[in-house]
Amino acid sequence: MPDSAAPPPGTVFVEGNVSYSIFQLARAHRSYASALLRRLDLHPGQELILMHLHQRDGQTQSELVANVGVDHSTMSKALRRMQDTGLLTRRPAEHDRRVSVNHLTAKGESMREPIAAMWRELDDVTTANLTARQRTTLVTTAHTIVTSINSRLPSTGTNEGDPPRSPGP
């Protein structure tokens, strides 16, 4: 009996079909999310920064880097762009004038519900053809995969482009 996870006949991705399926899923999901974000005049990733500031306003760039999971240069560019569009302000920290603290503006605060609605729509479209049980399994499986991959990354100094390290002896 053929493996139900095997790629269709003629598919060139016989090796790594799980990874290729994840790649296709991530690409389609990001594309649809980007389209939804454009309606809100946001770039991908800006909604995550806003969500973290909605949860706790007044975070430093380093806190946002740790919470969102991007590098400092990517965060700096995003924060500058968001400041230019009036979503947040950046002020020197009282404890250290070299550190800037990011605060939502009224415009940034007003994005709370539109971003929540965007995530609900993205979830609805993503899981439209799944049963409740399949949705639960998808979330559990995704977390398991993320944990597996993250356990193989170096514990410090990880950059998005760094290859995973080999397992230890």
Q: Say what the pLDDT of residue 97 is.
A: 85
Residues 6 or more apart whose CB falls under 8 angstroms from that of 92 comprise 98, 99, 100, 101
Q: Say what the pLDDT of residue 16 is.
A: 83
Global pTM value: 0.78
pLDDT at 168 over 90: no
Q: DSSP secondary structure string, 24-35?
A: HHHHHHHHHHHH
Write the pLDDT tens digit of every residue in 128-165: 999 999 999 999 999 999 999 999 988 754 444 444 43
Q: Identity (one letter) of the amino acid at 74?
A: T
Count CB atoms within 10 A of the CB of residue 148: 9
Region 121-129: mean pLDDT is 97
Nearest CA among 141, 25, 74 for reference residue 33: 25
Q: Say what the pLDDT of residue 95 is.
A: 86
Looking at the DSSP bridge assignments, the partners of residue 24 are: none
Most confidently modeled range among 3-12, 83-92, 94-103: 83-92
Q: Identity (one letter) of the amino acid at 83?
A: Q
SS3 of residue 4 by DSSP: coil
For residue 100, give the H/E element and its range. Answer: strand 100-104
Q: Say what the pLDDT of residue 48 is.
A: 97
Write the pLDDT tens digit of every residue in 9-66: 556 666 788 898 999 999 999 999 999 999 999 999 999 999 999 999 999 999 999 9
Find the helix packing angle between 112-126 and 17-39, rounded to 10°.
Answer: 140
pLDDT at 167 over 50: no
As given in the structure block, the two tokens for residue 15 are 């090796």
In the chain, alpha helices (H): 17-39, 46-55, 61-68, 72-84, 106-109, 112-126, 132-150
